[in-house]
Structure 1
């Protein structure tokens, strides 16, 4: 099966030429069509930087990125950008506070010149489990979980094949986290979407992902199957440390 996402020897740097800091160091991976692939590690390890390069937000990268069989350059076409959409950690920060939900959802359709806009807004609200009258509300009138549903709806409205999920539940209460993860799981199965999920929490990743790349200091130390995470049969000591951390504090007997 052809990969939906293929990355070879990706290196990403920040800073001016001559004084760059290399944040991602020659990572390679592929994600099958319809697969959910996780990137996990501590803050600053480079996982969100990989998402930024895939999404076209970070242009200081070298290596190969191919989306749906098409090699991607640093400068993207509008069609390439529409094929993959991003969902951010903080739904309040990523949605314009003075725009109604309808305005937020219509904007990508207008930018990309897509028709049947009201119909598409109605469908995507249904898809993420929000009532139709929410289109008239503002972000401050919604709960954190509802705002994240709007952020997911905005990502879906261009009918992308890939969602790039940057810590999509970490700003939410634990009970709401499960709702959003289950929504993402349902959407992936129903729409045949491909996911890359960034998280520092292995429990979140193992809930949603088929495989997970464990990152440390800009590189991969291990790519583990979901089964290995569940059974605890990972091979790298750093992965085991993350697994222990995600289980929380275990009191001494």
Structure 2
């Protein structure tokens, strides 16, 4: 089976000469279709940089990235962009404050030239558990959890195969975090989505992900899975430190 995401020898360097900083240093991994892969580590370890390269937000990188077996470069076609969608960390900053929810969900449909827009919006709101009346509300009229559901809906509306989740619950109240994580798991099971989840929170990673890579200073220090992580059967001291901090 072809991996949904395949990353080989990814290296990302910022700056030049004496000021050069290697944020990601020769990272390789693959994610099979319908599974969830987690990148976990402290702030500045390089995990969001890996995601940025896969998402196309970073265009200057070395190595190979393929989605469903198709190599991609720094510049993406519209079909490639539709295939990989992203949910950002901050539900307060990722939605335009002057756009209604309907306007927010219409925008990707217009960019990609998709029709049957009213039905698509109604369907995706239902999928993320929001009432149809929310179409006409503005972000400031929604709670943080509701805003993040809108952000998830915006990513889903293009029917992607891969979703990139950048700390999707870290800006939410603890009481809401589990609701959003459970929604993501349900959507994955129902639609066969592939997830790449970035988090500093080992509990979030263990809740969602099948496979986990622990990052430190731009490199993977351990590759493990959910069962071994929960059981404490980890090999690296840094992984153990992160796990004990849950």
Give TM-score scaled by structure 1 length: 0.96
Which residue is 2:124 aligned to? 124
Q: Distance in 2 between matches of 1:110 and 1:18?
A: 45
The CA deviation string for residues 159-191 of structure 1, in whole angstroms up to 9 with x for no partner, is: 000000000000011110000000000000000
Query: Which sections of structure 2, spanning at least 5 residues, go unmatched?
Result: none
C-alpha spacing 1:238/1:105, structure 2 compared with 1 (3 Å): same
Deviation at 1:20, TM superposition (A): 3.1
CA 1:120–1:177 in 2, change beyond 3 Å: closer, same or farther? same
Question: Number of paired residues?
Answer: 246
1:170 aligned residue: 170
Q: Distance in 1 between matches of 2:146 and 2:129?
A: 9
Matched residue, 2:52: 52
RMSD (Å) for aligned C-alpha atoms: 0.9
Deviations 1:191-247 (A, max 9, x none): 00000000001100000000100000000000111001110001100000000111x
| Equivalent runs, 1:152-163 vs 2, <5 Å | 152-163=152-163
Residue 224 of structure 1 aligns with which residue?
A: 224
Instruction: Report what 1:35 is aligned to.
Output: 35
Distance in 2, Cα, partners of 1:230 & 1:140: 38
- How high is the TM-score relative to the length of structure 2? 0.98
Structure 2 CA distance for partners of 1:120 and 1:18, relative to 1, 3 Å: farther
CA distance in 2, matches of 1:16, 1:183: 43
Counterpart-to-counterpart distance in 2, 1:71 and 1:18: 32
CA distance in 2, matches of 1:199, 1:13: 22
Matched residue, 1:237:
237
1:142 matched residue in structure 2:
142
